[in-house]
């Protein structure tokens, strides 16, 4: 392909924040209309949320799926289902959304951060093993950007230590690892239906499990732990109302019909961009673990700072001039540098549950996290969308290649 730096007229790329990059259509409208006409907008009585749950469970081959109000709520349900004791430790990633970490603290547990592979920004069996302690009670893995973690060694470790794995699949709908959908590899899988995800209900979440006892606790946690349908129901334990409404369920059911196609399109478009970028000096294209299908919530490249002295920031500034809004570093800082964790700002001035933590568990020295800092310094996250055209992908590719030429260190 001819990659000469001809002037590229700027393009407006589809955005997942509006109709240009979302797929709401007649099905969603018909379902929402039906929900409204029925007069029943609570999922305790309506049909849509139940249908969404059944359809999603069947799609993944999971025994149970429950819908809830957000991806954060989904992670909260998973941790509540595990019935942790205050002060228990949950190993997790510092490169994730705070919505995946706050639930650990709300359950009185301590998030213990594993380092990540600087290439994938995902936790690994080695980095998890390095922070295990006698207080570890669960492992949360995040399949960042839709790239599955390398699950086989993580599963072996979890089995050896008898620890449940929660998979945070907020960014990884229908990603697979060794022919299994992520979310069904661990004991519990969680998903987000927030505006910018593969499919959306605006806000929303899903939780899947094959374990009947955990499923029961997840259902209860969504419903103030009220024993619906029981002979002698009660509020069995502390829990909130995390229910999804029928309006969201109506949209979600229609969105599910589009999921496989959206994922396939994202994967295909990513393979085209990869072909363009492979071999460009200083740029590393995303890699998937062996036998895995990544589903490209975002397309993350790594930039070699020896070749591009300005790093991802300089790259992002140039791409912005071409209306490509990338995210250098992805998140500005690892989660443990955010005030809630760094300054232990939790309940009043109590600092609880951090007051229960081993000193070692809350030490976030930079040298413990070479993968986190190295990875964040190098990553440039390109927005991705199944509504991109082949022409859009070519435009992104050419813009990146042109930028690489401009910013390359002159020897
Ligand atoms: C990896 C990850 N986990 C959890 C969440 C929380 O989901 P929500 O925003 O739906 O609460 C998000 C994103 O939003 C996420 O990207």
> Model confidence at 197, in pLDDT bands (50, 70, 90)?
very high
Q: What is the pLDDT of residues 23-33, one digit of tens each?
A: 999 999 999 99
Q: Is 170 in the pocket of ligand 1 (CB under 6 A)?
A: yes
Q: Are 219 and 188 in contact (CB under 8 A)?
A: no
> Model confidence at 4, in pLDDT bands (50, 70, 90)?
very low
Phi, psi of 392 (to 5 degrees): -60, -45
Instruction: Compute the distance between CA of residue 222 and CA of residue 148 in angstroms, rounded to an integer.
Output: 27
8-state DSSP, 317: H
**Protein residue with its CA nearest to atom 13 in ligand 1:** 97
Q: Is 312 in the pocket of ligand 1 (CB under 6 A)?
A: no
Instruction: Compute the distance between CA of residue 77 and CA of residue 218 in angstroms, rounded to an integer.
Output: 5
pLDDT of 399 strictly over 60: yes
Q: What is the pLDDT of residue 9?
A: 84
Beta-bridge mates of residue 123 = 116
Instruction: Compute the distance between CA of residue 256 and CA of residue 56 in angstroms, rounded to an integer.
Output: 7
Torsion (CA) 122, 126, 132, 138 in degrees, nearest 10: 40
Q: Is 142 in the pocket of ligand 1 (CB under 6 A)?
A: yes
Which of 68, 71, 196 to mutate to test ligand 1, by most ligand atoms within 8 A of the CB atom? 71
- DSSP labels, 327-351: EETSSSS-GGGSHHHHTT--STT--
Q: What is the pLDDT of residue 10?
A: 85
**Protein residue with its CA nearest to atom 10 in ligand 1:** 71
**Protein residue with its CA nearest to atom 7 in ligand 1:** 71
- Beta strands 180-181 and 283-284 are unpaired
């Amino acid at each position: 392909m001819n990659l000469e730096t001809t002037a590229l007229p700027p393009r407006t790329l589809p955005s997942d924040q509006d109709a240009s990059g979302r797929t709401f259509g007649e099905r969603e409208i018909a379902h929402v209309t039906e929900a409204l006409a029925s007069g029943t907008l609570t999922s305790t009585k309506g049909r849509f949320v139940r249908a969404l749950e059944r359809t999603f469970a069947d799609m993944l081959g999971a025994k149970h799926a429950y819908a809830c109000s957000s991806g954060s709520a989904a992670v909260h349900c998973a941790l509540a289902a595990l019935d942790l004791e205050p002060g228990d430790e949950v190993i997790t990633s510092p490169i994730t959304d705070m919505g995946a970490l706050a639930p650990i603290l709300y359950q009185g547990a301590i998030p213990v951060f594993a380092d990540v592979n600087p290439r994938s920004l995902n936790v690994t069996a080695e980095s998890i093993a390095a922070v295990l302690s006698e207080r570890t009670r669960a492992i949360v893995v995040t399949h960042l950007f839709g790239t599955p973690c390398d699950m086989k060694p993580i599963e072996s470790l979890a089995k050896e230590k008898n620890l449940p794995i929660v998979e945070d699949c907020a960014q990884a709908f229908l990603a697979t690892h060794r022919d299994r959908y992520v979310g069904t590899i661990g004991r519990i899988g969680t998903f987000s239906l927030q505006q910018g995800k593969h499919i959306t209900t605006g806000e929303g979440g899903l939780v899947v499990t094959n374990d009947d006892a955990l499923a029961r606790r997840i259902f209860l946690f969504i419903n103030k732990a009220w024993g619906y349908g029981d002979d002698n129901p009660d509020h069995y334990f502390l829990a909130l109302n995390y229910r999804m409404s029928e309006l969201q369920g109506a949209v979600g059911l229609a969105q599910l019909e589009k999921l496989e196609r959206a994922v396939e399109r994202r994967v295909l478009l990513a393979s085209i961009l990869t072909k363009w970028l492979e071999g460009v000096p200083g740029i590393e294209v995303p890699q998937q673990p062996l036998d895995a299908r990544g589903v490209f919530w975002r397309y993350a490249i790594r930039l070699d700072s020896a070749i591009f002295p300005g790093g991802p920031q300089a790259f992002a500034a140039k791409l912005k001039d071409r209306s490509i809004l990338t995210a250098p570093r992805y998140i500005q800082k690892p989660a443990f540098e955010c005030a809630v964790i760094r300054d232990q700002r939790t309940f009043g001035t109590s600092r609880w549950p951090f007051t229960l933590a081993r000193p070692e568990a809350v030490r976030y020295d930079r040298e413990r996290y070479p993968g986190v800092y190295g990875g964040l310094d190098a990553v440039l996250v390109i927005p991705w969308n199944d509504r991109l055209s082949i022409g859009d992908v070519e435009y992104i590719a050419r813009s990146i290649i042109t930028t690489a030429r401009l910013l390359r260190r002159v020897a």
